[in-house]
Structure 1
Amino acid sequence: MEHRTEAALRAIRRIMRAADQAERQLVTATGLTPSQLLLLQEVARRGQATPSTLASAVQFSQATVTNLVDRLEVLGLVERRRGDQDRRQIWVVITAKGRETLAKAPDMLQDLFSGRFQHLPDWEQAMVVAMLERLSALLDAEKIDAAPLIDTGGPIDRLP
């Protein structure tokens, strides 16, 4: 039984290391964390969006989106603009530098996962989801709010 526990822990560790390596590769290529890149991709996809629309789309809290937009704005990748018809409304718009950054960004780990996961048969997808939810429960992590993003959230996430 101990062999299975060790095998499970090794698999968890490999997943964590893959996420860490992918995050470091992304930071090296773009200077962005996975959360920042995901938000930048969403702004680019929409052309412009309000922070609340972005929060809903990427499943982050409003406060997290505000923080991420602040960082992206400091880096010159997005701009905040007031609405033409309602000056109280704020729109987030991608800049040319933001588009250049997206063009050089490597594929994110969740894109690799999503592409491969979608090709699994339905029964296997259900089995993987059930196993991951069970693992989350075993680690007392099922109540932690999380976006559909593979992101270690470690010290790298504290970049400007």
Structure 2
Amino acid sequence: MEKYEELLLALRKVIRATDLYSKKLNKVTGLTAPQLLILREVAAAPSGITASKVAQNITLSPATVSNVLDRLEHRGLLHRERSTEDRRRVVLSLTALGSEQLQAAPQPLQESFILKFQSLADWEQSQLLSSMQRIAAMMDAEQLDAAEVLEVGIYAQQQLKQDH
């Protein structure tokens, strides 16, 4: 097998694993990864947060965040309210149902990844980062909208193993 074939195979495995975790998250919680990310961001700001700040924090486009917010609001998981201090500003907050959903959701997959990544030597972390950035550039994917999260967490990983 050529080296480029091995690399593409490894990339497909990462994509497949992420997809499986995403499907499991949706099955377990009824939430998508971006929905979970947004709920976490809103919960982390008890005095409220704007949609633009959420988009900035999780590195998704404002349009993407707005669409996800519409779905979350429609499901009764969060609500939008005009700021009393600045009427142009709309503040997001979780509903009781949104808080319950967030409490029941598994930890994101990246938490396990982060622990493993941080246990690597600094030079190896830099090498992996540089390699992935180069791959993204080679795939013309540098400007794509992507959150800083892989998908779901340990619970879903355990469930996946049990299902297979």
Partner of 1:91: 91
Give, as a single letter, the amino acid of the residue that structure 1 aligns with 2:82.
Answer: R
| Match of residue 144 from structure 1 | 144
Distance 1:82 1:144 in 2: 31
- Report whether the alignment pairs 1:43 with 2:45: no
Which letter does structure 2 place at the counterpart of 1:104?
A
- TM-score for the superposition, normalised by structure 2: 0.83
Runs of 4+ in 1 over 3 A off after TM superposition: none
Query: Which residues of 2 match residues 7-156 of structure 1 at below 5 A?
Result: 7-47=6-46, 48-150=48-150
Backbone CA RMSD of aligned residues: 1.6
State the TM-score, normalized to the length of structure 1.
0.85
* CA distance in 2 between partners of 1:101 and 1:50 (Å): 20
Q: Tell me the CA shift for residue 45 of structure 1.
A: 0.6
Decide whether the 8 Å contact of 1:29 with 1:104 is kept in 2: no
- Name the residue aligned to 2:156: none
Residue 67 of structure 1 deviates from its aligned partner by 1.1
Matched residue pairs, number?
150
Question: Within 1, Cα distance between the matches of 2:31 and 2:141?
Answer: 26
Q: What letter matches 1:108 in structure 2?
A: P
Ranges in structure 1 where 5+ consecutive residues have no aligned partner: 152-160
Shift of 1:9: 2.1
Contact 2:59 2:145 survives alignment (8 Å): no
CA distance in 2, matches of 1:88, 1:134: 41
Q: Larger deviation: 126-135 or 81-90?
A: 81-90
SS of residue matched to 1:32: coil
Contact 2:51–2:65, Cα closer than 8 Å, also in 1: yes
Alpha-carbon contact 1:77-1:96 (below 8 Å) kept: yes
Distance change (3 Å), C-alpha of 1:86 and 1:142: closer
Structure 1 letter corresponding to 2:140: D
What amino acid is aligned across from residue 39 of structure 2 in structure 1?
A: L
AA at the equivalent of 2:113 = F
Say whether the 8 Å CA contact 1:49–1:93 is kept in structure 2: yes
After TM superposition, give the deviation of residue 51 of structure 1 in Å.
Answer: 1.2
